[in-house]
Structure 1
Amino acid sequence: MSASPQSSSQSSRESLETAGTAHQNPREAITYYNPVEDRESDRAPLSLHLIRRIFTYTKPHAAKRNWLFFCTLFRGIQLPLLAWMIGATINGPIAGRDQHGIVLYSAVFLALVLLTAFTFHFRQRLALELGEAVVYDMRSALFHKLMGMPMSFFNRTKFGRIISRMTSDIDNVRIGVQDVVFASIVQGIQMLGSAVLMAYYNWKLFAIMLLLAPIIWVVNQRYREEVSYRLRKVQESWSRLSSTIAESVSGIRVTQAFVRQEINSGFFRKLVGSLAENNVGAARATAVFIPLLQMKSQLFLGAMAWLGGYGALRWQGWMHMEVGDLVMFFFLANLFFEPIQVIGNQYNQALTSMAGAERFFRLMDLQPEWQDAPAAKPLPNILGKVEFQQVDFEYEKGRKVLEEISFTVEPGQTVALVGHTGSGKSTIAGLLQKFYLPSRGRVLVDGHDLMDVTSHSLHSQMGSVQQNNYLFTGSVMDNIRLGRPTATESEVRAALQALDCVDMIEALPQGLATPVGDKSASLSLGQRQLVCFARAFLADPRILVLDEATSAIDTVTEARLQRALEVLLRGRTSFVVAHRLSTIRNADQVLVLGAGRIVERGNHNSLLAANGVYARLYKEFLGLSAHP
């Protein structure tokens, strides 16, 4: 295995994440992505800048967004209008015993109720549609961004972080768009409309009512803080429980092999107990504060009924009010206090949405460590000549992984890269595939400096078979056609026949149509490797890289696939990175690496005759393979 970021020390990784500042020259110091601390805040302050950026994703859906704002504003004034209509009906036709007026007012009230329901339906519907549209665009943009990031980004960034950005963080933004913004506007307008009507009809009683509003706000705020804390504890307990279940199921063989069943069960029972305690704590907090909030509202309504009723019975005085106004006050007071709790909850969710948006845009704003030069041109059809000229490379500035690497490979030759773990084998393969750029020197293909050609045109003429033989979800046929999606079934079968391994695929339950299960569990290691060989053969690349492609295969299967490997390499410029020296005996060149330098070069026989590093490695291999 070659030197890589994974093989660096933890301290070097940490310094790598924060090293450098952006420069236009991709070979110079650059800004590295900091994959964020392990503890990420689930909230962030409200930011007008972030809110504006979020709403840029609504521009393609401007008509839907504008109709939603209209429905939101209209919805906010409708409930106060309904309360006003009740008071007006009591004070007007009911007090005057006007039957025709009662029918007319009732009809208007019913029409307003229907209009309210109609508006509510479209307010909810448009908000959900806009939220999902924004999520669709954000996820598409993030995926496109990730597909363009260089390999070094993925080497340093935790997979879970990327999944979190794509799922929970964007979901939090969606809730902010479809719920927080528009629900808060509705509640705010409802409060304002109710306050204006109450102040207009009896500002004295309204002023008394306002004295209770801060008390309700403080109690509600304390309730949210306590419940939020309890719910976070529940979420943490649930996360530990879920991860323990996943680890226990995935590692069941190890658990049973080391007789850990009882120990693991005891640990799991403690986690279940902790989750239960936290759930009960959250329920207790809710059981204390909800009745307290309701009691304060009920005390206010009782006080208002006493004062308002006293004023309604008096024909004059500072508290005098009509019966209809008193009834209207009851409805408006509920409409005024109800949004206090709703807006408080929405505010908490807004802070969570801000945190999600902040992390999302941090990743979206990240500039790749390097990109193809603006003047880069497509690589023409190549023969496959490869040259490394005085190449140095460092994952971290000041710590060279490769130093003064120079060699030439003629078209159709096979080069074997040999050396201990960390010697730089896979790094050379990564530079050849332009996953990284050299710190110094040049890598040329058919005389073209890779700095001056587009990555896409290079990769379209290269093939790769990796150690982990990764297969995507789909059928075996789909995976073989990955490099040539237009290939027919007959062409796929011809590729398998050329590799002389049709029988290994036909042995599968459904042949080429066999679905590749989770982690390719439905295929053996040999079958998976064969699919990768066939994938590379069908793509017909001029340059082929095999990065420890047979390291996970047993010797019997390796012998079965050796013929397929020979066919795959024939006529192509091939780089074979391997621990197993048995796969490189027929290589035209063998480059022996040590500490990032080429310490020996030649072919198998000449290097054995030199009795140097390669000879010692070969003897070690024979000694290991001689053991049962």
Structure 2
Amino acid sequence: MSRLPEDRPELQRDSSEKVHIKGVEDEVSHDISLARVSRRQSDETDTDHLNFALFRRLFSWTRLYGPKRYWLFACVIIRAAQLPLLAWSLSAVINGPIAEGDYAATLWYALGYAIFAIFTQVVMHFRMRYALEMGETVVCEMRNAVFRHLMKMPMAFYNRTKHGSILSRLTSDMESVRQGVQNVLFVSLVQMGQMIISGVLMAFYNWVLFLALIGMTPILWAINRFFRKRISRSSRNLQESFSRVTATVAESVRGIHVTQGFSREQTNAGLFRRLIADHSGYNMGLSRNIARYLPLLELNAQVFTAILVILGGYGALSPTMHMDIGDLVTFFFLAGLFFQPITVIGRQFTSALAALAGAERVFRLLDQKPDWDESGNDRDPNDPPEVPLENFSGRVHFEEISFHYEPEKPVLKKIGFTAEPGQMVALVGHTGSGKSTIINLLCKFYLPTEGRVLFDDHDIRELQTASLRSQIGIVLQKNFLFSGTVRENIRVGRPDATDEEVEAAVRQLDCLDLVENMTNGFETVVTERGQGLSLGQRQIVCFARALLANPKILILDEATSSVDTMTEARLQSALETLLKDRTCFVVAHRLSTIRKADQVLVLDQGEIIERGNHRDLLSEKGHYADLYRRFTEE
């Protein structure tokens, strides 16, 4: 059975897919241009991106970790004191028993030093273990929170957001957050504590040398300030660039049949190469900044040590100062522990900026509000509470509905009709006339811009979404199957259904033999995107899934287009019984499927231009009659 010419995919394939490919090229070029503009703007903006408010928000998630978090901070404090105390005890051995030549006391001191050193390693073990466990807990909870948030987001969000960008939030951005939680704070606290305690002990031994050391810190501050902004910008740009790469890979995998069908492998590889080159540029920029930053920190530490050698040597050799050699050795031990953390903190600083860039992108996603929130947290107190749809008769009324995806491009204009319980309403029209948008509004995938959608007498805005959708069964032309068995995919419509109820739903469709003839019957494994089943078999599974849910409203969007003529005839016969007492909306290109519709709504450019039943519309010899004539001629 043929289709209307304007709806036949084989006639539209060449032009539409070429337009799609041209759009991909323009989008890649646009993304790269935006990235370069963003990089120039970042270079022109001299702001500090080490956002401590963001850091506090990130670590507020550690409250889920409970008492172990406090044990972790205790380990951090103990660990920060241990290495300076080890250095101090070593110098005490040198200044005491070794200087006095007491061999027995030296052995006892050495034994005590060894025991204390073992204790430091035990503390280090628990510090690292607790940090790793807490990092995993935080990332696990954040991933769950992001996924729950994604499940609440409306279709408009997914239309404007690339899937690869969403995936990057759950992968690369989360890994950056993990490193920030596990390492940055606690390693930095240990190193800073080590510096503070070493500084206090150095001041105790020789406050003059310590003041000379403190006088050199403005140089370190200037170096840190200079590179901090550059590394922060580079980290943010790198994360955004990786998101674009991930989005392009995801889109390319989904559209591989188009790529290979038009022999676009080399061309698309070139487009991807441009994105990778842009990403590589950000990576190289970050690497160059780090490669300058860390050696400068280490060089300054060595220069400071050399200056201390000069000052300390002068103090030890000067006949007026008489600085003790043992104290000078202790001071240099502590100075080493004071300067060592500088490079470590420098490395942690770059990790902190990457973690904050990832956390910023994750929180930006979590902060996006859905068009409606049923939790009650973000609802206007003046709005009526959302109510469940109970005792629903099946009556649906569209009251002067207007809708647009973009303000300047209206899709529906003052649409009004009523579907009484048990009626079949057919939506007919050319591609882009608004048929699918009506279905989207009916399912509350979007809310109308103007007007009201009423279920019985309830405005769709007042109804709980889950309760509403539990009354609706959908069978689309291109349905989605999950990885699993045929039985599990049918049970998606009603997870608590028994095996007998699943088989009864297929039997009602008069397709039980078709399912049982699959490789393993109901246990046939369905792979990603329904691979392993033919188009017709997938459609039968989707029919059974919708009917098992026993909905009051059934939506069929060219639902029999993927099955052969004989199977379609069997389904049509079964549907006559199954549609009884259900309100049905049919989007049809095959006009033979809607001859028995109670209402036929003919749409054109978002408006209803004709309405009536099949026979009345034919007698009017208008737009519908012309469509039907062209259909019968084919």
Q: Give the TM-score normalised by the residue count of structure 1.
A: 0.81
| Distance change (3 Å), C-alpha of 1:321 and 1:468 | farther
Q: For residues 489-519 of structure 1, give each alpha carbon's deviation from its aligned partner in whole angstroms, at most 9, with x where no partner exists.
A: 2221221122122233334333222222122
| Distance change (3 Å), C-alpha of 1:317 and 1:570 | farther
- When structure 1 is superposed on structure 2, of 67-76 and 42-51 the one drifting more is 42-51
Residue pair 1:376, 1:452 contacting (<8 A) in 2 also: yes
Alpha-carbon separation, structure 2, partners of 1:144 and 1:571: 35
Alignment partner of 1:620 is 2:630: yes
Q: For residues 353-411 of structure 1, give each alpha carbon's deviation from its aligned partner in whole angstroms, at most 9, with x where no partner exists.
A: 33333333333333332345543322223232222233333444575432332322232
Deviation at 1:87, TM superposition (A): 0.5
Greater helix content: 2
For structure 2, the 5+ residue unaligned runs are 1-5, 8-33, 375-382
Where does 1:585-596 land on structure 2 (aligned, <5 Å)? 585-596=595-606
| Distance change (3 Å), C-alpha of 1:552 and 1:44 | farther
Deviation at 1:535, TM superposition (A): 0.4
Amino acid across the alignment from 1:537: L
Q: For residues 48-94 of structure 1, give each alpha carbon's deviation from its aligned partner in whole angstroms, at most 9, with x where no partner exists.
A: 43233323322232312211111111111111111111111110121
Deviation at 1:219, TM superposition (A): 6.4
- Secondary structure in 1 matching 2:415: strand
Alignment partner of 1:428 is 2:438: yes
- Secondary structure in 2 matching 1:393: strand
- When structure 1 is superposed on structure 2, of 246-255 and 583-592 the one drifting more is 246-255
- Secondary structure in 1 matching 2:190: helix
| Distance change (3 Å), C-alpha of 1:340 and 1:555 | farther
Deviation at 1:132, TM superposition (A): 1.9
Amino acid across the alignment from 2:446: Y
- Secondary structure in 2 matching 1:140: helix
Amino acid across the alignment from 1:415: V
- When structure 1 is superposed on structure 2, of 482-491 and 274-283 the one drifting more is 274-283
Identify the match of residue 408 of structure 1 among 418, 423, 446. 418
- Secondary structure in 2 matching 1:161: helix
Deviation at 1:199, TM superposition (A): 2.3
Identify the match of residue 111 of structure 1 among 111, 115, 118. 115
Alignment partner of 1:46 is 2:50: yes
Alpha-carbon separation, structure 1, partners of 2:288 and 2:368: 44
Amino acid across the alignment from 1:318: M
Residue pair 2:164, 2:250 contacting (<8 A) in 1 also: no
- Name the structure 2 match of 1:456: 466
- Name the structure 2 match of 1:342: 344
Identify the match of residue 359 of structure 1 among 349, 358, 361. 361
- Name the structure 2 match of 1:419: 429
Residue pair 1:423, 1:595 contacting (<8 A) in 2 also: yes
Residue pair 2:551, 2:582 contacting (<8 A) in 1 also: yes
- Name the structure 1 match of 2:85: 81
Deviation at 1:225, TM superposition (A): 8.4
- Secondary structure in 1 matching 2:510: coil
Equivalent pairs: percent with the same residue? 53
- When structure 1 is superposed on structure 2, of 265-274 and 432-441 the one drifting more is 265-274
- Secondary structure in 2 matching 1:95: helix
Q: For residues 517-560 of structure 1, give each alpha carbon's deviation from its aligned partner in whole angstroms, at most 9, with x where no partner exists.
A: 12222222111111111101111111111233345556676556
For structure 1, the 5+ residue unaligned runs are 3-36
Alpha-carbon separation, structure 2, partners of 1:371 and 1:276: 40
- Secondary structure in 2 matching 1:598: strand
Alignment partner of 1:525 is 2:546: no
- Secondary structure in 2 matching 1:200: helix
- Name the structure 1 match of 2:333: 331
Residue pair 1:425, 1:593 contacting (<8 A) in 2 also: yes
Amino acid across the alignment from 1:603: N
Residue pair 2:490, 2:544 contacting (<8 A) in 1 also: yes
Q: For residues 552-573 of structure 1, give each alpha carbon's deviation from its aligned partner in whole angstroms, at most 9, with x where no partner exists.
A: 5566765565445555534421
- When structure 1 is superposed on structure 2, of 216-225 and 346-355 the one drifting more is 216-225
| Distance change (3 Å), C-alpha of 1:499 and 1:443 | same
- Name the structure 1 match of 2:138: 134
Amino acid across the alignment from 1:51: F
- When structure 1 is superposed on structure 2, of 569-578 and 281-290 the one drifting more is 281-290
Q: For residues 267-304 of structure 1, give each alpha carbon's deviation from its aligned partner in whole angstroms, at most 9, with x where no partner exists.
A: 88999999999999998988888777656555554564
Alpha-carbon separation, structure 2, partners of 1:348 and 1:378: 51
Residue pair 2:239, 2:358 contacting (<8 A) in 1 also: no
Residue pair 2:294, 2:346 contacting (<8 A) in 1 also: no
Where does 1:172-183 land on structure 2 (aligned, <5 Å)? 172-183=176-187
Amino acid across the alignment from 1:416: A
- Secondary structure in 2 matching 1:56: helix
Alignment partner of 1:489 is 2:515: no
| Distance change (3 Å), C-alpha of 1:565 and 1:523 | farther
Deviation at 1:121, TM superposition (A): 1.1
- Secondary structure in 1 matching 2:368: coil
| Distance change (3 Å), C-alpha of 1:340 and 1:310 | same
- Name the structure 1 match of 2:371: 369
Where does 1:177-326 land on structure 2 (aligned, <5 Å)? 177-210=181-214, 297-298=301-302, 300-301=304-305, 304-305=308-309, 308=312, 311-312=315-316, 314=317, 316-318=319-321, 320-323=323-326, 325-326=327-328
| Distance change (3 Å), C-alpha of 1:597 and 1:232 | closer
Q: For residues 74-130 of structure 1, give each alpha carbon's deviation from its aligned partner in whole angstroms, at most 9, with x where no partner exists.
A: 111111111111111110121122334323322332222122111111111111222
Amino acid across the alignment from 2:435: K
Alpha-carbon separation, structure 2, partners of 1:410 and 1:424: 21
**What is the total number of aligned residue pairs between the two structures?**
591
Deviation at 1:343, TM superposition (A): 1.8
- Secondary structure in 2 matching 1:482: helix
Identify the match of residue 616 of structure 2 among 606, 612, 615. 606
Residue pair 1:310, 1:319 contacting (<8 A) in 2 also: no
Residue pair 1:387, 1:443 contacting (<8 A) in 2 also: yes
Deviation at 1:464, TM superposition (A): 1.2
Alignment partner of 1:165 is 2:169: yes
Alpha-carbon separation, structure 2, partners of 1:100 and 1:198: 29
Alpha-carbon separation, structure 2, partners of 1:280 and 1:155: 33
Residue pair 1:44, 1:355 contacting (<8 A) in 2 also: no
Alpha-carbon separation, structure 2, partners of 1:105 and 1:232: 51
- Secondary structure in 1 matching 2:347: helix
- Secondary structure in 2 matching 1:370: coil
Residue pair 1:308, 1:321 contacting (<8 A) in 2 also: no
Alpha-carbon separation, structure 1, partners of 2:160 and 2:219: 50
- Secondary structure in 2 matching 1:590: strand
Alignment partner of 1:125 is 2:129: yes
- Name the structure 2 match of 1:508: 518
Alpha-carbon separation, structure 2, partners of 1:155 and 1:611: 39
Deviation at 1:145, TM superposition (A): 2.4
| Distance change (3 Å), C-alpha of 1:453 and 1:618 | same
| Distance change (3 Å), C-alpha of 1:290 and 1:66 | closer
Q: For residues 431-480 of structure 1, give each alpha carbon's deviation from its aligned partner in whole angstroms, at most 9, with x where no partner exists.
A: 22233333443333334333443222221122112232011222221111
Residue pair 1:176, 1:349 contacting (<8 A) in 2 also: yes
Alpha-carbon separation, structure 2, partners of 1:243 and 1:147: 19
